[in-house]
Amino acid sequence: MAALITGTGVAVPPNVVTNDALTRIMDTSDEWIVSRTGVRSRRFVDPGTSTSDLGAQAVRSALADAGVDPSEVDAVVCATMTPDRQNPGIAGAVQHKSGLHGAAVFDLRQQCSGFLFGLDLADMLITTERARTVVVVGAEVHAGYLPWGDAWDIVLGRADRSPTDDERALATRHRAWSVLFGDGAGAMVLQTRPDGPGLDFESESGILGSVLRTDGAHADLIEVPGLGSEQRPYADEAQIAAGLHHPTMNGGGLYRLAVETMPAAVREVLKTTGFELDDLGLVVAHQANDRILDGARRRLGVDESIMPSNIGHWGNTTAGTLPILYHELREQGRVAPGTLVAFTSFGAGAHWGAVLYSEPENPGST
Ligand code: ACO
């Protein structure tokens, strides 16, 4: 028994924000952002579109791609670090908005590694025969926490004014992390692949193995320090005034850990499943920034044809990056039958790992 990816779908908002557009509200440049991060543009939703809206759109698209009726879905696994509201999580809203009535739902909080942990959870549900069809979705609306206040209209080119000194100072103070992120969602449908005669380990398809790791000692590398049970009260004006609702990021620390842990996890999952690095057709890695991807490629000894990047046009969509990139690669015909794929990510918490997947020789014969 193994879990096969039988459909993928994405949802990205229409508003494109280039690096030049960001220079309207903060001290930055296209050259700085591209050379340090690889991001050239990102997408943002309009106010009123929530994370669960994008997630549900991606789910519907993935179900259509798989040819699966919503009534067949047993479970929905949702990953986000930007929920519609603090409580409840988005999984119920995604379920409701995609018409998956009756499916059990899970909310995961592993940030950039949320989708990877979700893939493994889907595999566990399927291989233990608790479910036959599981949808995993990673969705983010980062727009809500970006420190651009009333200057959003300027960013989107909808206002005929310059930012105030205070708006420019605030956006510039947060420029190191805020230029990285974009909104977007991706989903995958996973279904049971029954054991069949003549299947040996080498020719097996579907999810073949995983390595998941967490080290909570690194939680402060990137975190939102305020608005939580550590505070009394949970939320107040003093926290907002101090900017505790915005992320703080140790960029160098994140870089060092991400370039070390993702290649190590890929090597470990290959070793435990009996494969070699040369067997890999694709490494679908979290799109945090191109510098991290370059470092991870060097450590793993693979080039961009094996470990591709799409951060240039989406930015870092956190839990959305793995399914969005995989969907694009499928659309480009880069996931040929028999391709061995390593999904890998590193995310705030810190959580990281790798999931090894083999595209079936004949996807229609599940
Ligand atoms: N535009 C212009 N200048 C900037 C910007 C910006 N957007 N952001 C920071 N700077 C300035 C800083 O103020 C600083 O100026 P100073 O020397 O006068 O003080 C200078 O650039 C250097 O700042 P550093 O933070 O040292 O910049 P660095 O070269 O390390 O690059 C970066 C920052 C790109 C964030 C880098 O540390 C990095 O790639 N880290 C990885 C973090 C990451 O990718 N996080 C993604 C989210 S987490 C995840 O997905 C797991």
To test the pocket of ligand 1, the residue of 254, 316, 352 to mutate (highest count of ligand atoms within 8 Å of its CB) is 254
Whose CA is closest to 138, among 121, 152, 151, 154?
Answer: 121
The answer to whether 135 touches 104, Cβ cutoff 8 Å, is no
Q: How confident is the model at residue 196 (pLDDT cuts 50, 70, 90)?
A: low
To test the pocket of ligand 1, the residue of 36, 222, 260 to mutate (highest count of ligand atoms within 8 Å of its CB) is 36
Number of Cβ within a 10 Å radius of residue 106: 18
The closest-lying atom of ligand 1 relative to the alpha carbon of residue 221 is: 48
Beta strands in the chain (DSSP E): 2-11, 15-18, 41-44, 75-79, 104-108, 133-140, 184-193, 206-214, 222-223, 248-249, 282-285, 340-347, 351-358
The closest-lying atom of ligand 1 relative to the alpha carbon of residue 222 is: 48
Question: Atom 22, ligand 1: which residue's CA is nearest?
Answer: 176
Pocket of ligand 1 (CB under 6 A): 28, 32-33, 36-37, 112, 175-176, 179-180, 222, 251-252, 254-255, 258, 288-289, 291-292, 316, 346-348
pTM assigned to the model:
0.95
Does 201 score more than 50 pLDDT?
no
One-letter amino acid of 65: D
Residues 70, 102, 92: CA angle, nearest 5 degrees: 90
What percentage of the chain has pLDDT greater than the value 70? 96
Instruction: Please give the C-alpha separations between residue 329 and each of 46, 227, 309, 321, in angstroms, as whole numbers.
Output: 27, 38, 10, 12
In this predicted structure, what is the pLDDT of residue 203? Answer: 53
41-89: per-residue pLDDT in tens? 999 999 999 999 999 999 999 999 999 999 999 999 999 999 999 899 9
Does 289 score more than 70 pLDDT?
yes
Q: How confident is the model at residue 160 (pLDDT cuts 50, 70, 90)?
A: confident
To test the pocket of ligand 1, the residue of 115, 289, 294 to mutate (highest count of ligand atoms within 8 Å of its CB) is 289
Question: Atom 21, ligand 1: which residue's CA is nearest?
Answer: 176
Q: How confident is the model at residue 199 (pLDDT cuts 50, 70, 90)?
A: very low
Q: How far is the CA of 176 from the centre of ligand 1 (A)?
A: 4
Q: How confident is the model at residue 202 (pLDDT cuts 50, 70, 90)?
A: very low
76-85: per-residue pLDDT in tens? 999 999 999 9
255-282: per-residue pLDDT in tens? 999 999 999 999 999 999 999 999 999 9
d(C-alpha 18, C-alpha 22), whole Å: 7
In this predicted structure, what is the pLDDT of residue 251? Answer: 92
Give the mean pLDDT of the chain: 94
Q: How confident is the model at residue 365 (pLDDT cuts 50, 70, 90)?
A: very low
Whose CA is closest to 45, among 55, 31, 32?
Answer: 55
In this predicted structure, what is the pLDDT of residue 149? Answer: 87
In this predicted structure, what is the pLDDT of residue 194? Answer: 58
Q: How far is the CA of 279 from the centre of ligand 1 (A)?
A: 35
Does 361 score more than 80 pLDDT?
yes
Structure tokens at 208: 């073949």
One-letter amino acid of 162: S
List, by residue number, the catalytic residues: 112, 286, 316
Question: Atom 13, ligand 1: which residue's CA is nearest?
Answer: 176
Q: How far is the CA of 250 from the centre of ligand 1 (A)?
A: 9
